[in-house]
Structure 1
Amino acid sequence: MPERPPLHREIPPPECPPGWRTGPPDFIGVGTQKSGTSWWWALLAAHPGVEGSAHAKELHFLSRFQHRPMNDDDVAEYHRHFPRPPGLLAGEWTPRYMAIPSVAEAIQRAAPEARLVAILRDPVERYRSGLSQWYVTRRRTGRPPEDERGESEAVERGLYARQLERLIGRFGRDRLLVLQFERCLSEPADQYGRTLSFLGLPQWLPEPEVMRLPVNTTTVGKTDLDPEQHRRLVDGYQADVARLKDIVPDLDLTLWPDFGHL
């Protein structure tokens, strides 16, 4: 089967100002799409202890190694993406990372000490929220309407337990912070404080307008699920969500209505 066109352009490393240093990122956001990661990245980048202005939020760099191993030149190039002054942390947040099996090995190779952060959203709602964007991406990349592989991947991105188990097996549970999108919405200051503690940063709050989730101004229309689609998704995710509860004991399933009985 021919390879698909790449979804993301390669981003060159930024300049490193005099007196700054480059090196492996201190933290990597690994997931997940349609779960407020751009908002959370903005909150982290606003912290006085984080250098978040030198590069884009989503590098997609570690996604490149699905078909070949990462070599020393790749590691050096990745490190050049993270210039920062002495004493400041640097990181990135590519929401697709968690769903790509090869990324765990790439992180271990290029950033073995990095702390990992994931935000999870109700998988049914995450799938629905991503449908419209998936249709746009399919048209942009020339994928045919019957591209079942792409739709299957969209479903699989909501199998969080499987993805987290892969990361935990390589890095251990203590290196991974798992946040719940719905709790970030309802108690942003508390969840932001948890994030700062996990990264070893002093407690701090940005201006209120930064703390609020930005309004989605996309022109892409919302896509609803028909009842049969909804039922299939709930059935398909149920076993994974049950496993997820064991991995993330403080997961509040009352915020995921289809799974509150688990």
Structure 2
Amino acid sequence: MAQPDFLVIGAQKAGTTWLDKMFKSHPEIWTPVVKELQFFNSLYMEDAFKWTPRHRSSHASKAIGFVSNNSNNIDWAIIKQAVHIGEPENVDYQWYETVFDFAPEGNIKGEMTPEYSLLQHEHINSVKQKYPNLKIIFVMRDPVQRALSGIRMRLLQNGFDASSTQSDIDNFVKSCASDWDVIERGNYQNIIDKWTFHFGDENFLPLLSDDLKIDGKKQLEKLSKFLGIESEGFVADASEKVHVGKKYHISQDAIDEVIKYQQQNLEWFERYRNDE
């Protein structure tokens, strides 16, 4: 059975959707029709990620709908892939590797799931034992802005809209600021230390979200060298924005609460960015 060649492990709200679009524009790269397979986190941290079957099912359904409604010649291979992802009997390694069987022979294969950044040492070691030659890609964004963007996504998921009061929005933001996963998704130092401990610096590529925006072409050249492919193969517009989230106004006192819990992450990130 096929195996992945690379993983993009996040960070959430740091540019992984842009990366997936770039990957899908390159003839040498293959990624699944469903962007986030949510495999290792659901396998090793099931109690923390009980929503993953619903995620796979809903996104697979959207992919099937898109293919069915936007093509005169339906691509049945994509539909079969989406059905496999959306209706698994058992989410195990056989299921996971079957996803990559859909890739054309000779392509570099990979997937991106930001929740993989939250895996612990023992989980990453299990991934390493199974796929020792994996290359790991990690995109970082200012941890405060990343946290606020992630919380805005939660606001949308929890039904906040134009009728919501500013007080309710701010109280929700403050309640999220201290959540474990909001803090740890921005703990880039810990994430890098864990993954490089098991896979080594040579198989780990850190990227900055701001660099993707400022000079996406240059970052794609760096990415191509890391994966061993031709950078000229990317045909998508690297300057195009994707996945712009819904706007919510958040008051400064709520933002300050997020800053308080992200302070350590922010200090590390600023040192890292200045050293680049």
2-structure distance, mates of 1:173, 1:252: 20
2:239 counterpart (209, 212, 216)? 212
In the TM superposition, what whole-angstrom CA distance separates every residue of 1:209-239 from its partner, at most 9, and x where no partner exists? 6322325454453545426325514533255
List aligned pairs for 1:81-160, cutoff 5 A. Answer: 81-83=99-101, 84-101=103-120, 103-137=123-157, 151-160=179-188
* Counterpart check, 1:46 vs 2:25: yes
Classify the secondary structure of the residue corresponding to 2:180: helix
* Alignment gaps of 5+ in structure 2: 48-90, 161-171
Further displaced range: 171-180 or 198-207:
198-207
- What's the secondary structure of 2:197's corresponding residue? helix
1:106–1:212 distance in 2 versus 1, CA, 3 Å:
farther
- Identity rate, percent: 22
Counterpart Cα distance in 2 of 1:233 and 1:253: 23
**Distance across 2 between alignment mates of 1:190 and 1:232:** 34
C-alpha contact 1:132 1:222 (8 A) present in aligned 2: no
Q: Does the CA-based 8 Å contact 1:129-1:223 persist in structure 2?
A: no
Cα displacement (A) at 1:169: 1.0
**Residue of structure 1 in register with 2:211 after alignment:** 183
Q: Report the RMSD for the aligned CA atoms in angstroms.
A: 3.1
Q: Which residue of structure 2 lines up, in the alignment, with residue 5 of structure 1?
A: none
Q: Rate the CA distance shift 1:212–1:103 in 2: closer, same or farther, 3 A.
A: farther
Q: Find the partner of 1:37 among 16, 25, 31.
A: 16
Amino acid paired to 2:40: L
After superposing the two structures, state which structure 1 stretch, 175-184 or 229-238, moved more.
Answer: 229-238
CA spacing shift, 1:44–1:148, aligned 2, 3 Å: closer
Shift of 1:91: 0.6
SS of the residue 1:47 aligns to: coil
- Which structure has more relative contact order (CA 8 Å, sep 6+)? It is 2
Letter in 2 for 1:133: M
Deviation at 1:51, TM superposition (A): 2.1
- List gaps (5 residues or longer) in structure 1: 1-21, 246-250, 255-262
Q: After alignment, is 169-178 or 126-135 more displaced?
A: 126-135
Mean Cα displacement is larger for which, 154-163 or 80-89? 80-89
Count of aligned positions = 219
Residues of 1 paired with 2:218 and 2:248: CA distance?
32
Work out the CA distance in 1 between the residues paired with 2:185 and 2:240.
23
Tell me the equivalent position of 2:201.
173
Q: Which amino acid aligns with 2:15?
A: G
The alignment's TM-score, normalised by the length of structure 1, stands at 0.72
1:77 corresponds, among 84, 95, 101, to 95
